[in-house]
Chain A
Amino acid sequence: MTYHQIGANRRQVLASVSAAGLTLSFAVAPKAGAADAGATPLNAYVRVAPDGAVTIVAKNPEIGQGIKTSLPMMIAEELDVDWANVRIEQADNDPKLYGRQFAGGSMATPLHWDELRRVGAVARLMLIQAAAQAWNCAPGECSTTPGVVLHKASGRSRTYGSLALACADVPTPDPKSVTLKDPKSYRIVGKATPQYDVAGIVTGAPLFGIDVTRPGMVYATYAKAPVPGARVASADLEAAKSVKGVRKAFVVEGDPDAVLVRGMVGGGLTPGVAVVADTWWAARKGRDKLNLAWADHPTSKQSTAAFAEQAKALGAGKPQRTARNDGDVEAALKGAAKTVKAAYAYPFISHSPLEPMNCTAEYKDGKLEIWAPTQNPEPGRQLCAKTLGIKPEDITVHMTRCGGGFGRRLGNEYMVEAAWIAREAGAPVKLLWTREDDMQHDFYRPGGFHFFEGGVDGSGKVVAWRDHFVSYGEGSGFAPSAGMSPNEFPARFVANYRQDVSVMPLGVPTGPLRAPGSNALAFVHQSFIDELAHAAGADPLAFQIALLGDSDTVGDPPSQYNAARMKGVLKAVGEMSGWAKRGKLPKGEGMGVACYFSHMGYFAEVCHVAVSPAGDVKVKKVWVAADVGRQIVNPSGAMNQVQGSVLDGLSEALHQEITFADGKIEQSNFPDYPLMRINEAPPVEVKFVMTDYSPTGLGEPALPPAIPALTNAIFAATGKRVRSLPVRPEMLKA
């Protein structure tokens, strides 16, 4: 499944993964060489050692979202143990035991909230049953305090450690039958808990993919064409091999089409040249001597500038298709008291996690062992099996900590490259991309264009909305992550609404970047709503609330929009930010508001900016009101995710742009693709608005509204409307 599909079919996936997980997760998994030898596994996730130490398996990849800590917290809570006694062990890729193991779509919390609490509760019940057997009493007479089973009536108690062995004879209870704790009695869930790896992180422990070392390991670089997918025309392999320390240099034929499905589960091996050496630096020096030439490629004429021209022409013409048409937009525009017309655009952007793509692979006797910083290990394993022509059962994938993900590591081409090179090299290989490789061989957040027309009536109500969305794709299909739902807000909230679509075929790989789709769509829609508010002479926040209408919910699951929850966060952010007093801000300063629903979370944000006469933007503060349901699992991680997402959004809006010309990506490293630095980072104040819904994820949904909150604030400060990103001082000069 692709990240894209995850977004589209979230509910289905949710149902199927949960169901599969419940039955599978109770298989017992004794792990070879585990640190707690002698411990008894109670199920695939929990082992208890005689000394009471508890090992909990973290099933999903850790990319900085804190999942290695927060999922085990759910288990530990219901197991009833002291968090200080918990050891967390990262699972290998093992879908038979753990179901889907991936980091994407902010889905881990909603997918596992019920299931993993039951995993803990079942293990606890087994310990109780073992104690009851020993005491010859009914299990119902027993209770627990952390790590101890109690029989209050007789005053007896047994530690979990002393009971673990006896659990081997206790049948596993039906997970659906166990009673879960009353949240009021939680000791772990809901408490700010530092990441489990915190000590390793601050001491520089080798936690990451780039830190993997194997006996006899060699290092590799892999050079690919600047026009994604082009074949190798010539390479001076001998020159590379003449560099001290270089062991091998060879051309990999690969599959030129692999590149276009890079963000997807498919893909494969992109053509290139591998250089293998005793150190990575030697491999790089060898690579510099390759004197590479590349074959021509069908996309070698493409440029972002030409696409922008083409989009303008398409936007002015008749659309290729209409995705939604409610009421009569033309008539409503004619009858409107005020109309606004505006063209918006956003650029391609790159993931650029700080740890460049890398992977370590070892091929021996027909078997492949892989250590990968990946968000999506199983599709990587399948891809290696297909590409190398070996059985998936003969491939083991170990998941390392990832130095950032942001969607980039949902694709696994670095895994296939490492596997291929390791087999050719006949030694364990650590493949590491340069930063330039990473930036120029990404699958990008696609750019896009929106040509809006809207109208408000005399009372300030939005009566007409038309968007001609010009994107990338072919026929009725969009390029990966270049699409838009016909339900995109404010569809269903405006009686006369039309969404037209035209697409342009694209040869540059695209795919999911943190809050895919939403990270761009929030900017254009929430900005245009702000334009309509100003046209109506209305308070933009009140205008947003009015647009949400009088019904609590609109549409049916799975595409239901809960307007009541959104109004809740809008009101909250208005209070937090002192929105009502924004008129008192000095000249050159302003506040903007935006809201967005994505990844099951409702977010409203206010941004306060100051813009200098030269057009330099300083973000002074951002306020966030967030509704992700009734429980924050780990408030420390949750806060970090929300603050980081907001700053990530501002960084995209203020700096980031990938362009291409002659089919080549023009940026290559942080000097020409800047990211936000500490001196630009404003304080971000966050409030979680608690509502009685099942808890949902936080890796993404805070990001989308940060961008239009910023650009709407810029308008409030300067009267200048930002209709294309990134924001440049030239746009705002007084």
Chain B
Amino acid sequence: MAYTLNVNGKALSADVDGDTPLLWTLRDSLGILGPKYGCGVAACGACTVHIDGQPVRSCQVPTEAVGGAKITTIEGMAAHPVGQKVQAAWMDLDVAQCGYCQPGQIMSATALLAANPKPTDADIDAAMAGNLCRCATYTRIRAAIKRASGQKEA
């Protein structure tokens, strides 16, 4: 069935079964490839997008459940005031190794900073523990969140 989704400010239609996880509708039907597949069971965070500003694991959200909610993906971060800062910090600190987890990390970090502009280390742990980085770039992820929030990095 056809669903019209609001993705990064655009209305896009996809003809999929309603139980198709949003991740796959975005990737395979709409060609929005930034959100990544890592586990499919809400354990890695690679698929993180924002729905109405909240970070969610898109592998767990059936397409039929989205309705008219605003979906923002990593592709929409350049137009997001906090997202821009996070992306810039990620570039400045050369955070990534393979980079595969980083769209999800940036989505979680942006949601964190939008809600809590000066997070403590404990806040960062709580908000980011759902995002695995197999390359273990955690040192730089933490530093980049601090930088994006204008706090001392170490």
Contact surface of A with B, Cβ cutoff 8 Å: 63-66, 192-195, 197-208, 210-211, 213, 219, 244, 279-282, 285, 352-356, 401-406, 432, 434-435, 636-637, 640-641, 643-644, 647-648, 651, 669-671, 675-679, 681, 683-684
Contact = CB atoms under 8 A, between A and B. Distances in A.
Contacts of B115: none
18 contacts: A64-B98, A64-B100, A192-B94, A198-B90, A201-B90, A204-B35, A210-B33, A213-B33, A280-B24, A285-B17, A401-B99, A435-B38, A644-B137, A669-B41, A669-B43, A677-B138, A681-B138, A684-B139
Contacts of B5: none
A210 B36 contact: yes
B94 to A, nearest CB: 4
A7 B98 CA distance: 23
B137 to A, nearest CB: 6
B28 A279 contact: yes
B75 to A, nearest CB: 5
Interface in B56-94: 73-75, 77-78, 87, 90-92, 94
A679 B129 contact: yes
B151 interface: no
B132 A670 contact: yes
Contacts of A65: 97
Among B38, B77, B125, B130, residue most surrounded by chain A Cβ atoms (within 10 Å): B38
B34 A403 contact: no
A669 B43 CA distance: 8
Nearest to B76: A204
B31 A354 contact: no
B29 A279 contact: yes
Given A198-B91, A219-B28, A670-B43, A353 B136 contact: no
Contact of A354 (B17, B100, B125, B142): B100
Given A356-B38, A640-B140, A201 B125 contact: no
Contact of A194 (B94, B128, B131): B94
B99 A403 contact: yes
Contacts of A280: 24, 27-28
Contacts of B12: none
A209 B61 CA distance: 24
A355 B98 contact: yes
Among B40, B129, B134, residue most surrounded by chain A Cβ atoms (within 10 Å): B134
Interface string B100-137: 11110010000000000000000011101111111111
Given A404-B98, A643-B137, A678-B133, 5 more contacts: A202-B103, A404-B134, A647-B139, A670-B44, A679-B129
A256 B87 CA distance: 47
A426 B87 CA distance: 41
A213 B33 CA distance: 10
B36 A678 contact: no
A428 to B, nearest CB: 14
Contact of B136 (A198, A207, A355, A648): A648
B97 A203 contact: no
Contacts of B139: 643, 647, 681, 683-684
A681 B136 contact: yes
B39 interface: yes
A387 B96 CA distance: 36
A432 B37 contact: yes
Given A204-B33, A670-B39, A195 B94 contact: yes
Contacts of B29: 279
Contacts of B7: none
Contact of A281 (B24, B41, B87, B134): B24
B2 interface: no
A678 B103 CA distance: 16
A67 to B, nearest CB: 11
A441 to B, nearest CB: 16
Contacts of A401: 98-99
A193 B97 CA distance: 13
Contacts of A677: 128-132, 138
A213 B31 contact: yes
A233 B7 CA distance: 45
B135 to A, nearest CB: 5
A208 B34 CA distance: 10
B133 A354 contact: yes
B144 to A, nearest CB: 10
Contacts of B41: 435, 669-671
Given A202-B106, A355-B36, A403 B125 contact: no
Contacts of B142: 678, 681
Nearest to A209: B100
A678 B28 contact: no
A403 B100 contact: yes
Contacts of A66: 97
A203 B38 contact: no
Among B46, B73, B96, B136, residue most surrounded by chain A Cβ atoms (within 10 Å): B136
A678 B96 contact: no
A199 B102 CA distance: 11
Nearest to A676: B136
Given A204-B75, A435-B38, A681-B139, A675 B91 contact: no
A375 to B, nearest CB: 12
A254 to B, nearest CB: 25
Contact of B128 (A195, A204, A678): A678
Contacts of B27: 280
B51 interface: no
Nearest to B73: A204
Contact of A208 (B24, B100, B124, B126): B100
A194 B132 contact: no
Among B24, B31, B94, B141, residue most surrounded by chain A Cβ atoms (within 10 Å): B94
Contacts of A640: 94, 97, 137, 140
Contact of B98 (A202, A281, A403): A403
Among A244, A353, A677, residue most surrounded by chain B Cβ atoms (within 10 Å): A677
B75 A203 contact: yes
